[in-house]
Structure 1
Amino acid sequence: MPHEIDGIKQVDAEELKELVKNKPADTVVIDVREPEEYEAGHIPGVPLLPMNSVPEMIDGFSKEKEYVFICRSGNRSQNVAMFLKDKGFDRVTNYDGGMLDWEYGKNEGPEERIETPEDLKKR
């Protein structure tokens, strides 16, 4: 059930599973861990954009879309969501619990990385 922490909407594993499965056109799910963590196990279809790259990618984000962020435990992704909210992006969500709570098949499918603002805009 969605709830908020520090003004950021939180989703749990079941809600995230539905988002990844249904892929709403206005929602982008992004993994903000480090490349080594992502390579060790990631959610199929969820691209990587390491947390430290988010500020330089700000021009690729759209205020018309919702962004759901994932990390290992939910802390880094919460910080990314808070950063974007401070920059005027209201539709930001955190996957509370992170990959530690994900039990639905890790490391299936190809790796996808967001490397430029243009890559992000295509999402």
Structure 2
Amino acid sequence: MYENNEYACSFEFALDLISGKWKGLILWHLSHGTLRYGEIKKRMGHITQKMLTQTLRDLEKNMLVTRKVYPVVPPKVEYTITREGMRLIPIFQQLQEWGGHMGAKLGTAVTCSGDPQLPD
């Protein structure tokens, strides 16, 4: 997975784990609770099915999301953020605050729908 890559520091490695247009948003939505694939797709808006599938696989591989498949017809698959994934949420909340601040400074309207519920 990451054995053959060399990183200058842990920050670079962390960015490699979560970089990409969709990873942070998916984790943000999953921090509100377990979601099925279709629910994630609906909340993400204009992400393609292929990109959502690929991104969820990456997040699962990086131990930030778990995937549970139920043996039913039609298939039922649920995604849950892991404890390691939840450790990112306070950082994302700070980014959200900073984004709101910068949006106001630059004259860009920015809105968010809800904050995640952090575990005790």
TM over 0.5: no
Name which structure has the greater RCO, CA cutoff 8 Å, separation 6+.
1
TM-score where L is the length of structure 2: 0.28
Specify which structure has the higher proportion of strand. 1
Specify which structure has the higher proportion of helix. 2
